Amino acid sequence: MPRIGIFICHCGSNIAGTVDIEKSIEAARGFPGVVHVDEYRYLCSELGQDLIKKAIEEHNLDRVVVGTCSPRMHEVTFRKAVTEAGLNPYLLEVANIREHCSWVHKDIEKATPKAIALLRAAAAKAALNDPLVAPSVEVEKRALVIGGGIAGIQAALDIAEAGYIVDVVEREPSIGGRMAQLEKTFPTLDCSACILTPKMVEVAQHPNVSLLTYSEVEEVKGFVGQFDVKIKQKARYVDPVKCTGCGICYEKCPAKTPSEFEMGLAKRKAIYVPFPQAVPNIPVIDRDACLYFRKGRCQICAQECPPQAIDYEQQDQIIERRYGAIIVATGFDQMNPSHYGEYGYGQHPDILTGLEFERLFNASGPTGGKVVRLSDGKPPKKVVFIQCVGSRDKARGMNYCSKICCMYTAKQAILLKEKVPDAKSYVFYIDVRTAGKGYEEFQRRAAEEYDVAYLRGQVGKIFPESDHLMVHGVDSLSGKTIEIKADMVVLAVASVARADAPEVGRLVGINSDSYNFFNEAHPKLKPVETHTAGIFIAGACQAPKDIPETVAQASAAAVKVVGLLSKDMLQGEACTAEVNQAECSGCLYCEAVCPYSAISPVEIEERYHGGTLKRTVVEVNPTLCHGCGSCTVVCRSGTINLKGFSNEQILAEVDAICLQR
Amino acid sequence: MRYRYFPGCTLKGQAKSMEDTAMAAAAALGIELIELDEWQCCGAVYPLYEDELISLLSPVRTLAAAAGEPLVSLCSACHHVLKRAQELMQRNQDARHKVTDFLEVEYSGEGRVLHFLEVLRDDLGFDKLTEMIKKPLEGRKVAAYYGCLLLRPSKVMQFDDPENPTIMEDLLKTLGAEVVKSPYRTECCGAYLSVTEEGVASDTVARIIDSARQAGAEALITACPLCRYNLENCSREDGKEPIKVYYFSELLAEAMGLPGESTGADGSKEEVAQR
């Protein structure tokens, strides 16, 4: 017979105000197996905990039930207290008589019997509690960063500087991400490349960092401390050891195709580095554009390459590595605004998105840094910027504010004025949102010193008329319609999640919001954690954000990873599923529903009528199991049990509530 | 293909030629348009007031009379009113009960409400129509003018892309005309302001015509008697060659080689199938 002690907390008047403590004590004394009952004003206090510890010793208790707040609040506290008194922590049971009873009821006459029933149920379950031991998991002291933009670079550098090995996987041939595409950065107008490339070089040369560019994560298995990851390193068809980065191959290559880095505004070769400062400076061959791969002849790059680094026979390689923690920093995309028919995007070369326009400022961009109309090569004298294209638009776009557009539009208007001094900019806006250090001042400078006309309103129609673009809009402050004969139109389109974000989320096992941005574990207090232990997020894959915020988040994620990797062992989950193989029929329903791939079929041999019989049953890998309980629900023979929540224990609780004396 | 047909008042008067030519084309194409018995005015713009149920009675009577069969109109404005009244009756159950109780009618409200252009595009198909073109409008430079009523609100009208519609251009292509696109093809013609604020309507009409002319159009087509009225009567004297305005059905009948005549907005008549 167990020796159960019950302790009832008043929680000030939180519980005692609605539950008759005296009556509850009286009733609890009569529960089977209960040898000691006590109460205290604040059980979670040091004195309250001491009360429990002393009682365990004095009354030789081997099970403890506390009638308190939700186990989410203080289960850990009381488990620690009973452990200190020499009991296994899983021999403690919490009856939630606050959130489940006193807080939701007013009538003490009715709440008291309910609290008693909850206590009786907890005592009935506690009688069946077994001591459990959580398995320990060894931590692999290596981190993986997915995405080599500024977020991934910053996170990798911080982890590496803390002394841990980190791999950066980047899908493109070079690291650098979106920031590498920018000309200047607000609000200080630093040259983006000038502040980014030193970091790119630093991360590439750091002894603790391995760059896996032109690579993609194929599979993630395992759990915090021990993620087993398969990475596909795509064939570059260039030997990275032999290649000197001289650039003769792409100079001589005859095949051209639109450049992704230049947003399709310029062409690149079939063998290419995406931009001059690429890291690593090793070209790749784009099979879809290469004449040799498409038609079987050409091979000019191979003939011209001085160190003979071209290798058409190179194959994709699968790298399998174990990591203790993962940071997802996969960045964002621009919305394609083609469905806004009134803006005519895609129908005229002088209607551009913000990122496309940005490339015109860049010395290595499609126009060699000259800000000119793509239609006729003339510098634009009147440029209309339209904000919130696809942002803050419930009907046709995204409900959210993309956050960076007000600032980069002001930046581009300033840069335009500097490049084309007689240019005039018009900005159609809904609200100007410039929260951030130095941001408001920056935007005011655009309006006051750079003669940018801010028009509060929207554009209804853009169409070509002779050699300019007619822009019809409305200024909602004056109530007047506005017509501007513009030379160029720049659309500040919404920042959106990467098209393959849901796939990446499934791959690594994290969830997303309705816009496919990855979800943080808590919007305020766990901004870089995810609901999956050991996986963290940073940068614009979580929500639209600017560079300072991205960098801050990346460093935060790195700190979390470093904290995790600094431990040698992690405590696993004690409440895992266990199967009685003698009763298992091998239907494998549990294998199908397990979200953690913790259940697998296994062949066993059994003695049967004198002979032996081979049959399939399942086994549970306790280190993979998270204790969600899905398998116990689908098990047809009811033979999978969750430790700490066995069928027997739960039925005992139900009986204790229903079968009142 | 069998449809109930709602003409609307204008098609029996000023826009008679739209009805005549459309009916002739429909007959030749095997599209049966059966005119509703004892139909009445669509209600003009009044049923669009959502807080005044009494003005809904007229279009709801018409919708009820179609008794679930597809209902076709030719006039953009009538089609617009019927389509929106139908949508309101689906969306606002309270209005639906009050109006049907008052009228004491069986209202199913489920039938399709179509413009004749949609019948040509979706039910017949422009491919099929191509086979029936006997006198293609070769060398004729024609621009489509949509106006507002067919396209907006696009969620209710479900007619075509409100910014970049193609249905009339596709029709013109089918008829063999040289299609001219003008940026003002979906702008408002000025509507009833031609009566109260003629200057406003003249401005809008001048822009529509100028932009069509600049784009190289010699003629415009429309599906709306009011648009045509404004385009013909509110254009300013500018000494330039006026642009001819047709109902889409007039050019349809002409290309199909059907006899018919165009009635100008001033009531004067002109042979359209002489070529």
Say what the pLDDT of residue B265 is: 47
Q: How far apart are CA A79 and CA A353, in angstroms?
A: 58
Asked if residues B172 and B161 have their Cβ atoms less than 8 Å apart, the reply is no
Asked if residues B128 and B164 have their Cβ atoms less than 8 Å apart, the reply is no
Cβ contacts (< 8 Å) between B183 and chain A: which residues? 461, 463-465, 470
Say what the pLDDT of residue B29 is: 96
Here the tokens at position A137 are 């998991």
Which of B151, B156, B159, B163 has the highest number of chain A CBs within 10 A, making it the mutation to test binding with A?
B163
Q: How far apart are CA A252 and CA A298, in angstroms?
A: 11
B142: phi then psi, degrees, rounded to nearest 5: -125, 135
Cβ contacts (< 8 Å) between B148 and chain A: which residues? none
- Residue range A577-643, CATH number: 3.30.70.20
Cβ contacts (< 8 Å) between B211 and chain A: which residues? 465
Nearest chain B residue (CA) to A347: B164
Report the gap between the CA of B231 and the closest CA in chain A (Å).
Answer: 21
Here the tokens at position A265 are 């505004």
- Kindly determine whether residue B161 and residue A342, on different chains, have CB atoms separated by under 8 Å: no
Cβ contacts (< 8 Å) between B164 and chain A: which residues? 341
The model's pTM:
0.81
Cβ contacts (< 8 Å) between A346 and chain B: which residues? none
Domains defined for chain B, CATH in brackets: 2-116 (1.20.1050.140), 135-271 (3.40.50)
Q: Which of A341, A464, A470 sits opposite B164 (nearest CB)?
A: A341
- Kindly determine whether residue B183 and residue A340, on different chains, have CB atoms separated by under 8 Å: no
Q: Which residue has the higher pLDDT, B157 or A595?
A: B157
A108: phi then psi, degrees, rounded to nearest 5: -65, -30
Q: Is domain A332-496 given the CATH code 3.50.50.60 in the classification? A: yes
Report the gap between the CA of B155 and the closest CA in chain A (Å).
Answer: 10
Report the gap between the CA of A463 and the closest CA in chain B (Å).
Answer: 6
Tell me which residues of chain A, numbers 29 to 48, contact chain B at a CB-CB cutoff of 8 Å: none
Please count the residue pairs, one from chain A and one from chain B, whose beta carbons lie less than 8 angstroms apart: 14
Tell me which residues of chain A, numbers 338 to 367, contact chain B at a CB-CB cutoff of 8 Å: 340-342
Whether residue B109 has pLDDT greater than 90: no
Tell me which residues of chain A, numbers 465 to 484, contact chain B at a CB-CB cutoff of 8 Å: 465, 470
Burial (CB < 10 A; 0-12, 13-18, 19+), residue A400, is middle
In chain A, where the domains are located = 4-128, 142-331+534-565, 332-496, 577-643
Say what the pLDDT of residue B45 is: 82
Nearest chain A residue (CA) to B163: A341
Q: How far apart are CA B121 and CA A5, in angstroms?
A: 81
Q: Which of B161, B162, B183 sits opposite A463 (nearest CB)?
A: B183
DSSP single-letter state for residue A532: S
Q: Answer whether A4-128 and A142-331+534-565 agree in fold.
A: no
- Helices B167-174 + B248-255 axis angle, to 10: 20
Q: How far apart are CA B151 and CA B157, in angstroms?
A: 6
Q: How far apart are CA A41 and CA A11, in angstroms?
A: 6
Nearest chain A residue (CA) to B160: A341
- Kindly determine whether residue B183 and residue A464, on different chains, have CB atoms separated by under 8 Å: yes
Say what the pLDDT of residue B272 is: 45
Q: How far apart are CA A656 and CA A645, in angstroms?
A: 15
Burial (CB < 10 A; 0-12, 13-18, 19+), residue A411, is buried
Alpha-carbon distance values, A158 to A194, A307, A325, B113 (Å): 20, 36, 14, 64
Q: How far apart are CA A70 and CA A98, in angstroms?
A: 7
- Kindly determine whether residue B183 and residue A470, on different chains, have CB atoms separated by under 8 Å: yes
Q: What is the pLDDT of residues A178-235, one digit of tens each?
A: 999 999 999 999 999 999 999 999 999 999 999 999 999 999 988 899 999 999 999 9
A142-331+534-565: CATH topology:
FAD/NAD(P)-binding domain (3.50.50)
**Torsion angle in degrees (nearest 10) through CA of A367, A368, A370, A376:** -30
Which residues of B lie closer than 8 Å to A, measured between beta carbons? 161-164, 183, 211, 214
Report the gap between the CA of A337 and the closest CA in chain B (Å).
Answer: 13
- Kindly determine whether residue B163 and residue A341, on different chains, have CB atoms separated by under 8 Å: yes
- Residue range A4-128, CATH number: 3.40.50
End-to-end CA distance of chain B: 30
Using the Cβ of A436 and the Cβ atoms of chain B, whether some distance falls under 8 Å is answered with no
Say what the pLDDT of residue B241 is: 79
Alpha-carbon distance values, B257 to A634, A642, B175, B245 (Å): 72, 82, 11, 19
Report the gap between the CA of A342 and the closest CA in chain B (Å).
Answer: 5
- Kindly determine whether residue A341 and residue B162, on different chains, have CB atoms separated by under 8 Å: yes
* Residues in CB range of B196: below 8 A, 6 or more apart: none
Nearest chain A residue (CA) to B215: A465
Nearest chain A residue (CA) to B183: A463
Q: Which of B161, B164, B183 sits opposite A465 (nearest CB)?
A: B183
Alpha-carbon distance values, A535 to A137, A212, A327, A385, A506 (Å): 16, 19, 6, 39, 12
- Kindly determine whether residue A465 and residue B164, on different chains, have CB atoms separated by under 8 Å: no
- Kindly determine whether residue A461 and residue B183, on different chains, have CB atoms separated by under 8 Å: yes
Say what the pLDDT of residue B269 is: 53
Say what the pLDDT of residue B270 is: 52
Here the tokens at position A548 are 């300072």
Q: Which of B161, B211, B214 sits opposite A341 (nearest CB)?
A: B161
Here the tokens at position A432 are 């100007």
Whether residue B274 has pLDDT greater than 50: no
Report the gap between the CA of B73 and the closest CA in chain A (Å).
Answer: 27
Rg (CA), chain A: 32
Which of A338, A348, A461, A471 has the highest number of chain B CBs within 10 A, making it the mutation to test binding with B?
A461
Taking 50 as the pLDDT cut, the residues of chain A under it are 661
List B127's β-bridge partners, or say none.
none
In this prediction, residues B54-77 reach a mean pLDDT of 94
Q: Which stretches within A30-169 are classed as H helix?
A: 46-59, 71-84, 108-128, 150-161
Report the gap between the CA of B163 and the closest CA in chain A (Å).
Answer: 5
Q: What is the pLDDT of residues A434-453, one digit of tens each?
A: 999 999 999 999 999 999 99
Cβ contacts (< 8 Å) between A342 and chain B: which residues? 163
Asked if residues A385 and A410 have their Cβ atoms less than 8 Å apart, the reply is no
Cβ contacts (< 8 Å) between A341 and chain B: which residues? 161-164
Report the gap between the CA of B213 and the closest CA in chain A (Å).
Answer: 12
Cβ contacts (< 8 Å) between B161 and chain A: which residues? 341
Report the gap between the CA of A356 and the closest CA in chain B (Å).
Answer: 23
Q: Which of A342, A465, A470 sits opposite B163 (nearest CB)?
A: A342
Whether residue B264 has pLDDT greater than 60: no
